[in-house]
């Protein structure tokens, strides 16, 4: 069921004016604009290593919510209390919003880092989805045991007011005026404002003025150190510390600045870089954490995080060479056109909410098999079915002639699932027939046996898992036909060759149908279709249980091995054509594609989620058509 109401939970006052809190507020507002009912609440207590007040506050908050409530817990609030989350994980739909892993904070001892990593790993195991503010953090979470398929990166955005600041023509700077340097961020060792003060103290020119804007209350000891450092360096007249300011004060500060500097040792994204670029401000930034990616664009100059000498040299070039500063400013105004708005972030988040982690066509669960069967039967190539029926008729006639007896055709279906393949074939092939159904899932095998028996043929069940090593022994020795549906694109070359050797040893025919051939089309076209298809096809070659899968190359490879064994082979297309009448199958299919593509390239997750969100809307409106190319293969031994 789609989520229509969300509870966001943060530590402390939600109105704090830091990047992380502003991200949550702006995302909540954008989600509300998109039609969701959104609540944003803060918890009292100490975080991220929670005291008893924080633990009690979280437990009371979650206990008061109705069963099934969708709750997004800020990583700073939930990372240190896995025991509380464990108590509520089955009753509530818990999700995490991770700005950066807690153990990545600067200034922690080894023991503190170890405690935080262990706690956050256990906490993240209690949630069903994780949202991050950067691809960098999404990748970091692999070290916390979070599967890539459950992570959505919803990158930050910028308020419209920041864009408005750069719409007016930029007046030419008077070279005699001091360069106005702006650094935004609460005072903390990770934000490393002390490094900027040290670098400024070494400048040969005094034609600059620096504003350090951000709360001095979150780490009062560090704030005191920075203030003392400014005075000790004799820079009190040229470095101003403002403390936390209102949003209007923040906009004014950006408007008055000439250069934005971010000396942070580590950022989970670095929203202030986007804000500066949206204002047309040139940026000098460290490459700490996600900043290496956030800052990889025009208008941003990066230096190695923690390297005060490199920061000082970069500052000197910009302060002493007006042309260098102008060049960087021109790049910033060029980049502003690609800065995201909060509606984009909300779109990524909504797509992540809607993603279904368990809908994967590679897993033959009952729901998937039921949904695909009508499309499978429609797509089957009737000419190959007729050829097979004729070949089996001759096979049976020859058997009777040489042995002067009648016996049922011995037909084998590998990976039968719910028995869709023999249910289709049995009425179309000569009799009498006996079907050996091979299916390792016992519950599916029972359903298959009942359905196939309902067509009037005899059935036996085998629940072995076929492998390259047991294929020769496990396939029935008297098989006339070995067939499979939607299977060989999932197996390895070794497995496929073992199958062919076993078939050749029995002088049996082979009928393998509905193998994905590497192409699907959706109408109308979406800009991300080609990228998604390429990632899905790459994923098809991944490990599926028997080694690296053959994927879209499976039919071509099977044909080559059979021809080399002296078999005659026919291949024919069997495409799916889906429209709004098969919404369940289309939804499962697209969700499976999106999951596979995201697993293949986690950094594409946001784009893939936007693609899926758009496609779901088109499907619901009856506007979407899907074509998936498959191939059917029939091969028979030499006469």
Q: Do the domain assignments include residue 253?
A: yes
Please report, for residues 38, 395, 501, 532, 565, the alpha-carbon distance to residue 637 in angstroms, rounded to integers and kept in the order given.
Answer: 65, 11, 12, 39, 9
Spatial strand order in the sheet of 283-286 = 239-243, 208-213, 179-184, 259-262, 283-286, 300-303
Q: Do the domain assignments include residue 616?
A: no
Q: Do the domain assignments include residue 603?
A: no
Place of tokens 């039967």: 377
Provide the pLDDT confidence category of residue 187 given band limits of 50, 70 and 90: very high
* Angle separating helix axes 342-354 and 605-620, nearest 10 degrees: 70
Mean pLDDT of the 232-244 span:
95
pLDDT digits 0-9 by tens, 152-166 = 889 999 988 777 765
CATH of the domain at 561: 3.40.50.150
Q: Do the domain assignments include residue 350?
A: no
Residues 306 and 170 in one domain: yes
Residues 48 and 153 in one domain: yes
pLDDT digits 0-9 by tens, 18-64 = 889 999 999 999 999 999 999 999 999 999 999 999 999 999 999 99
End position of a domain, from candidates 124, 157, 190? 157
Beta bridge partners of 114: none
Q: Do the domain assignments include residue 212?
A: yes
pLDDT digits 0-9 by tens, 243-270 = 999 888 988 899 999 999 999 999 989 9
Q: Tell me what pLDDT residue 402 has.
A: 80
Q: Tell me what pLDDT residue 356 has.
A: 52
Q: Specify the number of domains making up the chain.
A: 3
Residues 243 and 380 in one domain: no
Provide the pLDDT confidence category of residue 440 given band limits of 50, 70 and 90: confident
Mean pLDDT of the 345-354 span:
89
Dihedral through CA 390, CA 396, CA 399, CA 405, nearest 10?
A: -150
Q: Do the domain assignments include residue 525?
A: no
Residues 323 and 267 in one domain: yes
Q: Do the domain assignments include residue 532?
A: no
Q: Tell me what pLDDT residue 46 has.
A: 95
Query: Is the link from the previous residue into 432 a cis peptide, with omega within 30 of 0?
Result: yes
- Which of 102, 111, 312 has the alpha carbon at shortest distance from 199? 312
- Which of 463, 458, 384, 378 has the alpha carbon at shortest distance from 426? 458
End position of a domain, from candidates 115, 136, 157? 157
Mean pLDDT of the 342-362 span:
70
Residues 442 and 566 in one domain: yes
Q: Tell me what pLDDT residue 363 has.
A: 35
Residues 394 and 270 in one domain: no
Residue 632, pLDDT above cutoff 50: yes
State the CB neighbour count (10 A cutoff) for residue 234. 9
Asked if residues 149 and 604 have their Cβ atoms less than 8 Å apart, the reply is no
Residues 124 and 169 in one domain: no
181 phi/psi in degrees, rounded to 5: -100, 135
Q: Tell me what pLDDT residue 7 has.
A: 97
Residues 176 and 319 in one domain: yes
Residues 427 and 572 in one domain: yes
Residues 371 and 512 in one domain: yes
Place of tokens 């904070």: 105
Mean pLDDT of the 205-231 span:
95
Residues 140 and 195 in one domain: no
Q: What is the DSSP letter of 53?
A: H
End position of a domain, from candidates 157, 173, 204? 157
CA distance 488 to 495: 9
Residues 245 and 223 in one domain: yes
Q: Give 535 or 174, the one with higher predicted confidence.
A: 535
Provide the pLDDT confidence category of residue 359 given band limits of 50, 70 and 90: very low
Q: Tell me what pLDDT residue 357 has.
A: 43
What average pLDDT does the structure give for the chain?
90
Structural domain boundaries enclosing 32: 5-157
CATH of the domain at 174: 3.40.50.2000
Residue 596, pLDDT above cutoff 90: no
Residue 354, pLDDT above cutoff 80: no
Q: Do the domain assignments include residue 538?
A: no
């Amino acid at each position: 069921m789609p989520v229509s109401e969300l509870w966001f939970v943060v530590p402390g006052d939600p109105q704090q004016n830091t990047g992380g809190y502003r991200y949550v507020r702006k995302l909540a507002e954008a989600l509300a604009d998109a039609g969701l009912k959104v609540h944003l609440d803060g918890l009292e207590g100490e975080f991220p290593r929670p005291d008893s007040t924080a633990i009690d506050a979280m437990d009371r908050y979650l206990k008061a919510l109705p069963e099934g409530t969708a709750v997004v817990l800020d990583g700073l609030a939930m990372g240190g209390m896995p025991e509380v989350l464990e108590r509520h994980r089955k009753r509530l739909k818990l999700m995490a919003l991770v700005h950066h892993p807690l153990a990545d904070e600067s200034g922690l001892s080894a023991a503190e880092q170890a405690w935080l990593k262990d706690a956050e790993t256990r906490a993240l195991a209690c949630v069903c989805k994780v949202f991050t503010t950067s691809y960098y953090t999404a990748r970091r979470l692999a070290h916390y045991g979070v599967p890539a398929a459950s992570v959505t990166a919803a990158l930050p955005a910028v308020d419209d007011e920041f864009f408005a600041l750069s719409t007016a023509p930029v007046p030419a700077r008077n070279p005699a005026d001091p360069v106005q340097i702006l650094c935004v961020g609460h005072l903390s060792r990770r934000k490393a404002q002390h490094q900027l003060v040290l670098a400024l103290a070494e400048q040969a020119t005094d034609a600059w003025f620096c504003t350090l804007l951000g709360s001095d209350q979150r780490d009062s000891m560090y704030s005191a150190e920075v203030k003392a450092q400014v005075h000790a360096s004799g820079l009190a007249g040229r470095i101003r510390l403002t403390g936390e300011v209102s949003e209007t004060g923040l906009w004014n500060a950006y408007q008055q600045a000439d250069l934005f500097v971010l000396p942070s040792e580590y950022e989970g994204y670095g929203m202030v870089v986007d804000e500066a670029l949206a204002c047309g401000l040139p940026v000098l930034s460290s490459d700490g954490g996600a900043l290496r990616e956030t800052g990889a664009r025009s208008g941003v100059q990066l230096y190695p995080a923690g390297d005060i000498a490199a920061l000082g040299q970069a500052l000197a070039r910009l302060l002493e060479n007006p042309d260098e500063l102008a060049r960087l400013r021109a790049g910033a105004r060029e980049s502003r056109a690609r800065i995201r708005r909060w509606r984009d972030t909300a779109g990524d988040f909504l797509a992540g909410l809607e993603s279904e982690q368990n809908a994967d066509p590679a897993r033959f669960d009952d729901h998937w098999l039921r949904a695909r069967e009508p499309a499978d039967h429609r797509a089957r190539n009737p000419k190959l079915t007729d050829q097979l029926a004729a070949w089996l008729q001759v096979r049976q006639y020859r058997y009777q002639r040489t042995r002067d007896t009648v016996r049922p055709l011995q037909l084998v279906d590998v990976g039968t699932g719910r028995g869709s393949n023999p249910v289709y074939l049995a009425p179309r092939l000569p009799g009498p027939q006996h079907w050996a159904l091979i299916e390792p899932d016992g519950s599916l095998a029972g359903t298959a046996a009942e359905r196939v028996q309902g067509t009037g043929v005899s059935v036996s069940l085998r629940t072995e898992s076929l492998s390259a090593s047991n294929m020769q022994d496990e396939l029935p020795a008297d098989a006339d036909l070995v067939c499979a549906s939607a299977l060989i694109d999932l197996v390895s070359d070794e497995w496929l060759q073992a199958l062919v050797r076993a078939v050749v040893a029995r002088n049996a025919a082979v009928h393998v149908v509905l193998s994905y051939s590497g192409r699907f089309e959706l109408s109308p076209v979406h800009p991300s279709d080609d990228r998604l298809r390429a990632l899905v096809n790459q994923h098809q070659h991944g490990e599926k249980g028997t080694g690296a899968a053959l994927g879209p190359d499976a039919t071509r490879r099977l044909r080559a091995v059979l021809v080399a064994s002296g078999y005659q082979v026919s291949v024919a297309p069997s495409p799916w054509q889906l429209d709004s009448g098969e919404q369940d199958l289309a939804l499962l299919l697209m969700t499976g594609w999106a999951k596979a593509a995201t697993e293949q390239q986690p950094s594409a997750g946001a784009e893939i989620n936007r693609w899926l969100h758009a496609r779901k809307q088109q499907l619901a409106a009856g506007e979407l058509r899907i074509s998936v190319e498959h191939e059917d293969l029939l091969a028979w031994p030499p006469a």
